[in-house]
Amino acid sequence: MIHLENVSKVYPNGTEALNNITLDIGKGEFVFIVGPSGAGKSTFLKLLIREEKATFGKLSVNGRDLINIKKRKIPYLRRTMGIVFQDFRLIDKMTVFDNVAFAMRAIGEPEKSIKKRVGTVLKIVGLEGTENRRPRELSGGEQQRVSLARALVNRPEILIADEPTGNIDPELSFEIMKMLVAVNRRGTTVIVVTHEHELVRKFGGRVIRIAEGELDSDYFISTKYNPQKPAPKPAGDESAAPPDDDDKQQTDGSAEKPEQNGSSDKEGGQQ
Ligand code: ADP
């Protein structure tokens, strides 16, 4: 679904933000992108949504070649994606309903389907009854849930969340993460950038670590939220631990044993 081959990004000022990244993310995977500040995580996301263009290498998303994609086709690419920002990016003049409906109106969906779908996604994120409120009347955690509802409204194939828990407290972060896992279970590929080691340990899944623009490690943490995907290896083979590096999150604690990453092929579509 997402394919990067020897991808590098050099910004016009000469900063090499990503260097020679090769990886694939399959449909239905749940992936954390971690790494220190300045490592290139946001740049990675920007390449995926084609806000930035890779300088070298091959990059495709859902069969679309993002190196040679025509500018006028980029909005179609983005329609297959839902994006949750750290700072919510809600429009305060609009009600919760209108904030969520915005992306559907942008593509000319009929008002009747909008009403139905917005109701459904607000239910998914536990915000029924808030339709007529304004974002500023909601708590930070609720605002983040509105932003998640907005990202889900057009049934994205890929949900991208950039530090979605960066501006909310730990309990609410946990709730948002549970929702992202639930969305993933419906078949949506979920990619979450975070620096919160605790959440990564707790929720598990595939962990891609970027450091100084390079792909530093790529491994799987199995937990009850993200159990190992159907046996790519014989049962009992749990020998592969993530590389030992003191800047890296440990994989003990609430998580079960880390296992080597296998390909993911969860099926099913979002409702
Ligand atoms: P992270 O999200 O991991 O903190 P970023 O992708 O934001 O890392 O940044 C990676 C590197 O690229 C950093 O050195 C950063 O200063 C640089 N960088 C990011 N955006 C730009 C830009 N628009 N122009 C030049 N350099 C940039």
Instruction: Spell out the domain ranges in the chain.
Output: 25-55+156-271, 90-155
* pLDDT value, residue 264: 40
Helix 111-124 and helix 96-106, axial crossing angle in degrees, nearest 10: 130
Give residues with Cβ within 8 angstroms of 236, minimum separation 6: none
Closest atom of ligand 1 to CA, residue 46: 6
Strand partners, 30: 190
For 79, the 3-state DSSP assignment is helix
Give pLDDT < 70 ranges for the chain. Answer: 229-271
Which pLDDT value is given to residue 225? 92
Residue-wise pLDDT for 186-222, tens only, equals 999 999 999 889 999 999 999 999 999 999 999 999 9
Q: What is the pLDDT of residue 48?
A: 96
d(CA 119, CA 153): 10
Can you give the pLDDT at residue 239? 38
pLDDT of residue 247: 38
pLDDT at 167: 79
Give me 64's structure tokens.
């679309």
- Helix axis angle, 140-152 relative to 111-124, nearest 10°? 130
Contact call for residues 90 and 98 (beta carbons, < 8 A): no
Q: 11, 48, 49, 163: which to mutate for ligand 1, most atoms within 8 A of CB?
A: 11
CATH number assigned to the domain covering 25-55+156-271: 3.40.50.300
What per-residue confidence (pLDDT) applies to 171? 84
Cα 145 to ligand 1 centre (Å): 27
Predicted local distance difference test score (pLDDT) of residue 153: 95
Q: What pLDDT score does 262 carry?
A: 41
DSSP 241: P
CA atoms within 13 A on the CB side of 123: 7
pLDDT computed for residue 229 by the predictor: 61
Nearest CA residue ID for atom 25, ligand 1: 11
Could you tell me the end-to-end alpha-carbon distance of the chain, in angstroms, rounded to an integer?
Answer: 20
